[in-house]
Structure 1
Amino acid sequence: MKKRKKLKKKYALYISTVFLLGCVTILLWDLKKSQEGENSVSAQTMTEDGTYAVDDVQTTDEISGTGANVLLQSSNLLSSSGADLETELTALNVVYPDQIGFVLINEQSGEVITTNESRIFTSASLYKLFLTYAILEQVDTGLLSLQDQMADGATIDDYLTSTITVSANEPAKELAHLIGWENIETFIHEQGFVSTSFNPYLEYDGIYYNGDLETTPAEVAFLLERLLEGELLSEASTKYFLGLLGNQQLVYALNTGLSSDVTFAHKTGLLDDVSHDAGILSMDGQNYIVAVLTDGWLNATDDATPVFEEIGSAVMTYLYAQ
């Protein structure tokens, strides 16, 4: 009888031990799954929040330091000159709260300096960069030719030249109507520029109003870098587009703070309360993508000039340090 009691106690102890081990195993398994779930949610959130969340986006290894990774790269440790430039931008943002969006991409080092890079701005004439891309894509596919004539007898080449180099509005509008505003927006979104809109007409209760064309500093920089890298268009169209930017006649914005040591192939944008400048800086055989978008001015022509002078000077200090 005593022996049976001992066996029962021993068996009960064995069952208890197995039960406890099973509970611990289940708890550990649940904890692991919970952590995996949290990591999955975090990864999904980062993807959904990313400016360039598209199905065919390349990995960081494939396009390290490019516009598609602006938000990721901007969190990296900066060089001393990059940190100095960031400090200058921070100081400007104190004086002009939420009025300045900035992206600079160092093509050689992959370093990226940003502020308010995902903020949506009225694009002003920067929309003409995306318009030109859409037109030249149709040239590449054979739907259009640069020598096609518009209604007034001028060619698409003539219209694109005046659209970019002197920011003429009417030729730009005619080119947009040629392929359709909605088609431009659809095409641009398909290419990953999901925060850039082409909706110049808004309808409310049967009445049409002028709407805003919008973009972000990050997407403007992304467009310019992909253009420079030959990822957007054919070699001929890429060379043509860069040539238009290089022949820019409007130098009232960022040029005011740049030195003669650099060349700047760029496009400006100006409204009463908005002033932008974005393009490709080249010095000593090195290239830098820069996009500066500003708004909130009473008279942008005058009020934004000191800001561009200061930003241009700070950018030059950064370039000289490279």
Structure 2
Amino acid sequence: MEKLIVGQSLEKQLQEVICNVAPTGAISYVVTRLSDGEEPQIVAAFKETMIHVGASMVKTLILEYVFHLAYEGQLDLHDTIALSRSPRVAGAGVLQELMGTHSFTYLELCRLMMVISDNWATNLLIQALGMEYINARAHQLGLEHFEINRFMMDTLAVQEGRDNYITALDMAKLLHHIYNLRYTLEGHEMWSILGRQQFRDILPFHWGEDVVFHHKTGSLENVEHDAGILETMNGDFCFVMLMSHVRNDVAKQLGAQVGLRMKAFVEDALP
């Protein structure tokens, strides 16, 4: 991707904030300018290829793969999956409050997985799709370090060294792919789902509730991530912020400050 020289001033701003708030954390970010049918331009980036634990950010790839299969005629979004097909898990979401006799469509599970980050919905989809096939789709999309190696809330897998991984650059590529599909039959619903994300306590925290951000967040102990696309009068931009080895309350504070500066820069400082 081409990198804009003007973005160096944003990088300087963000570096000052990172050094002040979380100087010892593992921080990655990337800001890209998007245009339909064209290669994105990098506005600013820092350690964009550093590998992070994925947390709930990997759910975005599962979403894309479901809709890819539906578009290819290999899956019907209105077919159902019974809750009993996968063990109940805790964490984010509402399905854990239901009895296992319910069934949900692929579309409903995607919405629950993304909008409220439901972990049980995610595991049902991973089991139905196959972990190896989801990872093959990541490779097909050119996501070099994007891996799903465990189910949500699988602490035993983590203890055994199996985890899910992402980079800021891979997240930007995946979001750009969905962005290019937003006016198509395959992509319109994905785009709409991303725009209904209910967790707004990282990058868009200071933007106001009326600002639509098509994004996904992810959180684990000492991990906070956020990545999405903002449409502005000055163009459309992808913001990705990955924060590891930072206390969660500090990471959210940092993400909110970074989000404020990213938005102000792309709206006011870019030509």
The two structures share one fold, judged by TM-score above 0.5: yes
Larger strand share, 1 or 2: 2
- The one of 52, 72, 86 equivalent to 2:11 is 86
Shift of 1:260: 5.9
How far apart are residue 83 of structure 1 and its match?
2.5
Q: Which of 48, 51, 55 matches 1:120?
A: 51
> Is contact 2:77–2:106 with CA below 8 Å preserved after alignment?
yes
Aligned to 1:314: 261
Q: Which has the higher helix share?
A: 1
> What is the CA distance between 1:258 and its match in structure 2?
2.6
CA drift of 1:110 comes to 3.0
Does 1:185 find its partner at 2:125?
no
* CA–CA separation in structure 2 for the residues paired with 1:285 and 1:311: 19
By how many angstroms is 1:156 displaced?
A: 0.8
Aligned partners of 1:260 and 1:177: how far apart in 2? 35
> 1:145-180: per-residue Cα shift (whole Å, max 9, x none)?
110111132111110000000000000111011011
Structure 1 residues 201-230: Cα deviation after superposition (integer angstroms, max 9, x where no partner):
7xxxxxx83621001000000111121122
Aligned to 1:296: 245
Identical columns (%) = 24
1:131/1:176 contact within 8 Å kept: yes
5 Å-filtered alignment, 1:1-322, equals 69=1, 73-74=2-3, 76=4, 78-79=5-6, 82-95=7-20, 96-97=23-24, 99-107=26-34, 110-151=41-82, 152-200=102-150, 209=160, 211-230=162-181, 235-259=184-208, 262-284=211-233, 286-298=235-247, 300=248, 302-318=249-265, 319-322=267-270
After TM superposition, give the deviation of residue 259 of structure 1 in Å.
Answer: 4.7
Between the aligned partners of 2:24 and 2:127, the Cα distance in structure 1 is 37
Distance 1:125 1:236 in 2: 25
Secondary structure of 2:73's aligned partner: coil
Would you say how many aligned residue pairs link Structure 1 and Structure 2? 237
Q: Label 1:316 to 1:191 Cα distance change in 2 as closer, same or farther (>3 A).
A: closer
- 1:263 and 1:283 in contact (8 A); partners too: no
Deviations 1:79-123 (A, max 9, x none): 2xx222110222234342452110111225934210010000001
Residue type at the aligned position of 1:199: N
Gaps of 5+ in 2: 83-101, 152-158
Code of the residue aligned with 1:119 in structure 2: it is M
Whose radius of gyration is greater, 1 or 2? 1
TM-score scaled by length of structure 1: 0.69
- Contact in 2 for aligned 1:139/1:145 (Cα 8 Å): yes
AA partner of residue 134 (structure 2): I
Secondary structure of the 1:287 match is strand
Aligned residue for 2:173, secondary structure, equals: helix
Q: Distance in 1 between matches of 2:268 and 2:210?
A: 10
Deviation at 1:135, TM superposition (A): 1.1
Q: Distance in 2 between matches of 1:320 and 1:234?
A: 27
Specify every segment of 5 or more residues in structure 1 that has no aligned partner in the other structure, as ranges.
Answer: 1-68, 202-207
Q: Give 3-state SS (helix, strand or coil) of 1:267's partner.
A: strand
Tell me: higher relative CO, structure 1 or 2? Use CA pairs within 8 A at least 6 residues apart: 2
Taking a change above 3 Å as real, the CA distance of residues 285 and 158 of structure 1, as seen in their structure-2 partners, is farther
Residue by residue over 1:262-282, the C-alpha shift from the partner in whole angstroms, topping out at 9 and shown as x without a partner, is 421111001111101111111
Question: Could you tell me how far apart the structure 1 residues matched to 2:186 and 2:117 are?
Answer: 19
TM-score by length of 2: 0.81
Letter of the 1:160 counterpart: C
